[in-house]
Structure formats: structure tokens, C-alpha cells
Amino acid sequence: MILPQSDPPSTSTPTVIAVVIMIIVVVLIFLFHCTLVYLGKKEQRKVRPPAPTVVRVEKAWNMPPPQYAAVY
């Protein structure tokens, strides 16, 4: 004897609830991540030293390689 089902098996209520909860969690994690990135960039902008000039970069580029001391 087959019992009649009240709702179709393709979308059962627990599955729909689980999907909705997962979507909400993903959205909250995304918003939290964006907030952290925004705050990090704001802090970086405050603390960051001025950008190096072209001359300084060229000097660093033309420097000889460092002499490493032998460790025994």
C-alpha cells in the first residue's frame, strides 16, 4: 500500500529551509569579508609612507647583490 504524500518529493520543507539558511550565511560571510577589506584599506591609507620616487627605485635596482656570510 502506497501512502499519499502531502508535498512533492522534489522540494521538501527541510531542504528549502536548509538552502535559505545557507544563502543567508554566505551573504553574511561576504558582507563581513567586505567590511574587513574596507577597514584594512582604510588603515593602510593612514599608515602608508609616501610612494618611493623613481630615483630611489633606480638606485635600489642598480645596487650590487648582498654579500652573504657563510654560516658554519
| 13 close to 7: Cβ distance less than 8 angstroms | yes
Average pLDDT along the chain: 75
Alpha-carbon gap, residue 26 to 39, rounded angstroms: 20
Cβ neighbours of residue 13 under 8 Å, at least 6 residues apart? 7
pLDDT tens readout for residues 19-39: 999 999 999 999 999 999 888
Kindly state the percentage of the chain with pLDDT values over 90: 24
Phi, psi at residue 7, to the nearest 5°? Answer: -125, 155
What DSSP state is assigned to residue 51?
P
Alpha-carbon gap, residue 22 to 16, rounded angstroms: 10
